[in-house]
Structure 1
Amino acid sequence: MGEFKGDTPRNRLHHDVPEKMKALQYSEAEKFAVVNIDVPKIGDDDVLVKISACGVCGTDLHYHKGEFLAKWPLIPGHEAAGTIAAIGKNVKNVGIGDRVAADPLQPCLICFHCTRRKPLLCDNLTAFGGNVPGGFAEYCRYPARLVHPIGDLPDLEAVLVEPAACATHGIERMQIEVGSRVLLFGCGPTGMLLAQLIRMNGAAHLTIASKGGPKLDLAKELGIADSYITISDDQPHMEMQALKSANPYGFDIVVEATGAPTVLEQAIDFVRKGGKLVVYGVYDESIKIAWSPFRIWEHEITILASFCSMGHIPEVIEYVKAGKLKLGGIANKTYRIEEWAECLEAVRKQEVVKAAIVFD
């Protein structure tokens, strides 16, 4: 068993941590395999996390194709939860045996944007599961400041902490005024978290408009909105027109969280004068849409986006501790890394609400 930098009796690896570990690794776009590699080394300010579960995100489909920050070889997985297996000598915030969730983004702190207090826009972002090894492995190294204790939060709820942090940043970006009426297109896993936070942070009324299926069914079961509109595949224009007729003044805030360009293009028609349109879904870089600049100008519509999250996990944990953020039931299907091809297909076809990779 190898020792880590900064090894002391208190910090030493547990006896059951092996030299090698299994990991899902990409050698290039769309080419992956389960490999047996060295357990990561850690530095004085790092921790080693034994991964218990890691959520599968739509972003992982982009990494699969070599998009975003993908850097080969790549171990994906950015929604990780697990147990601290080792700590560096300077680590004080967690101890061996603590269960934690990980923030996957580490800014450089010295680039143009970081020095102007915009670390989320860092030019040299380290993204665990994107350009450095992530949570689709038995162990992962993280800087200690990126992990947060989660107590006895179940694994399949803990994998929702990072997506909820992204939703929390979205709430910051929206700056919802008290008494607002909000329309949310889409109720995928992050949309369900976003919906709950919208209602807790100023919205008087929230409408979810989404395709029918297990995701919308779960949203209704969780009671996360005030009204629900099912958008059919065969006559979506009918439901969209009915929604518009029922809300002649539109909505103070319209959030597009489906990632469908056609929905984003139509979403602006539901924004009331002086309202906001939030681009929350993830789109292929090549996508272009058409909006009327006159409408945006005449109605003084604000268009904004929410990229992801950085440093918002403590706020999420506060909501969870208070029993106000419902995480149970959203991650409804688990896979082993050996089943990654099957998992990818299920996520791509939207056959699951949310998938997670799990380990023993």
Structure 2
Amino acid sequence: MRAAVLYENNEIRAEQVEQAACGADEVRIKVMAAGICGSDIHKMQTRWKYPLPAVMGHEFSGVIVEKGADVAHVEVGSRVAGIPLVPCGKCEYCQAGEFSLCEDYRMVGSHFYGAFAENVVMKATNVIDIGDMDFEEGAMLEPLAVAMHGVLGIQPELGDTAVVFGIGTIGILVVQCLQLAGVKDIIAVDISDGKLAEARKFGCRYTINPREDNLAEKVLEYTGGRGADIALECAGSKVTQEQCLRVTKKKGKIGYLGIAYADVLLPEEAFENIFRRELTLKGFWNSYSAPFPGEEWTTSIAFVNQGRIQLKPLISHRYKVEEVGDAFAMILGREEDYNKVMILPQEE
């Protein structure tokens, strides 16, 4: 099969590779669409710690074209999305249904060959039916479930005001989930005016570019001097990770979804806000709960199929498998605005 193979940091080549055999409890999926995740970019550059050569890609959908002898709950021809986390099922967290916290998990696209390829083989328990959903939408269910995991976990209340830091794919999906949860006003924060314009299209009442305006003053202005009920950090920046502590009201809640790629050192005032304002800080990792894969996934599918969450407008670029290197070069070069970058492995 054709695949984009990572040989070492920043070295990706499209070539023919031997496809994996389909085991008794596995299915083979003809990959129709696969998204590039922000974590792929960081891992590919400097943080790859899995076996090489590798095929990345953990956000994907496609059609089952082969199934093992022991697989009964899905059929050849089923349209499915891949669930990339393979929990061990044995640790105390798996036993409690906290699959995101599994102590010995593996991931499609890291430990196993992923979806930047014509097909992928995975456990049949790790697919979920998407019905007639568009394949590109199906490939975005994984990031949507990540956003859903954070919003469900922060427990917004009807009429809340929320600040969302980082208006990339996860940020926009968080915005849509907050709206469905009954949040009254959403304040989008980003240093890209283009992304702030996108936030307004998706219903954010206020937008702030901290390079142009005083962030804390603007949030106070937009919240009647109180600060936000909720702050959700989706940028993975040490700057925004601190800013959350400055804009949240007393007894407010902060949720961290963005990965920290550098030390986060807090100024005294920001740290003091944690206890002087009695803030609640929560971290959100991955997108799973019981029964596996969890309500994050089933709710996401329902809302997309009902037309209540929009995914297609977030796709900014599309590439073939042979062009995966070009896709990463575009992202790393930052010469143009991008949002979700989609890989389409099948020849037209």
Normalising by structure 2, report the TM-score: 0.90
Within 5 A, what are the aligned runs for 1:158-197?
Answer: 158-197=138-177
Which of 274, 289, 305 is the equivalent residue of 2:283?
305
Contact 1:101 1:149 in 2 (8 A): yes
> 1:244 and 2:216 equivalent?
no
Give 1:97 deviation, angstroms. 1.4
Determine the C-alpha separation between the residues in 2 that align with 1:291 and 1:200.
35
**Aligned partner of residue 329 in structure 1, secondary structure:** helix
Provide the residue aligned with 2:185 in structure 1.
205
Question: What is the aligned partner in structure 2 of residue 268 from structure 1?
Answer: 245
> Secondary structure at the residue paired with 1:38?
coil
**Residues 219, 228 of structure 2: 8 Å contact kept:** no
Q: Does 1:290 align with 2:272?
A: no
CA distance in 2, matches of 1:321, 1:154: 9
2:338 aligned with 1:352: yes
- In the alignment, the residues of structure 1 paired with residue 329 and residue 152 of structure 2 have an alpha-carbon distance, to the nearest angstrom, of 33
**SS of aligned partner of 1:82:** strand
Partner residue, 2:110: 130
1:336 aligns with 2:320: yes
Asked if 2 retains the 8 angstrom alpha-carbon contact of 1:185 and 1:257, the reply is: yes
Q: Distance in 1 between matches of 2:99 and 2:218?
A: 42
CA contact (8 A) 1:63 1:70 kept: no
- 1:174 Cα offset (Å): 0.5
* Superimposed CA distance per residue, residues 162-199 of structure 1 (whole angstroms, 9 cap, x where no aligned partner): 10011111122202223211111121111111111111
Higher helix share: 2
8 Å CA contact 2:196, 2:207 repeated in 1: no
Deviations 1:116-152, CA, capped at 9 Å, x for gaps? 4322111211100122111111110111121112123
Distance 1:228 1:316 in 2: 25
d(CA) in 1 for partners of 2:330 and 2:196? 17
- Partner of 1:297: helix, strand, or coil? helix
Aligned residues: 335
Query: Which sections of structure 1, spanning at least 5 residues, go unmatched?
Result: 1-20
> 2:233 aligns to what?
256
Q: How far apart are 1:240 and its partner, in Å? A: 4.6
Partners in 2 of 1:331 and 1:359 — Cα distance? 16
Instruction: Name the counterpart of 1:321.
Output: 305
Partner secondary structure for residue 339 of structure 1: helix
Question: Match of 1:287, SS?
Answer: coil
Distance 1:253 1:88 in 2: 46
Give distance in 2, aligned partners of 1:302 and 1:230.
Answer: 24
Q: Secondary structure at the match of 1:183?
A: strand
What amino acid sits opposite 2:282 in the alignment?
L
Query: Aligned pair in 2 of structure 1 residues 204, 147: CA closer, same or farther (>3 Å)?
Result: same
Distance in 2 (CA, whole Å) between partners of 1:146 and 1:265 is 36
- Contact 2:163–2:231 (8 Å) recurs in 1: yes
Q: Distance in 2 between matches of 1:162 and 1:29?
A: 24
* TM-score computed with the length of structure 1 as normaliser: 0.87
Q: 2:266 corresponds to which letter in structure 1?
A: A
- Tell me if structure 1 keeps the 8 A contact 2:4–2:15: yes
Tell me the percent identity. 27
Cα distance in 1, alignment partners of residues 169 and 219 from structure 2: 23
CA RMSD of aligned residues (A): 1.9
Counterpart residue identity of residue 315, structure 2:
A
**Partner of 1:18 in structure 2?**
none
Q: What is aligned with 1:12?
A: none
One of 231, 239, 245 as aligned partner of 2:209: 231
Q: 1:345 to 1:59 in 2, by over 3 A?
A: same
1:74 and 2:54 equivalent? yes
**Aligned-pair CA distance for 1:346:** 2.2
Cα 1:308/1:75, change in 2 over 3 Å: same
Which range is displaced more, 132-141 or 104-113? 104-113
Amino acid across the alignment from 1:101? A
Structure 2: distance between partners of 1:146 and 1:53:
17
Three-state SS of the structure 1 residue aligned to 2:314 is coil
- 4+ residue stretches of structure 1 with deviation over 6 A? none
User: How many Å apart are 1:69 and its aligned residue?
Assistant: 5.2
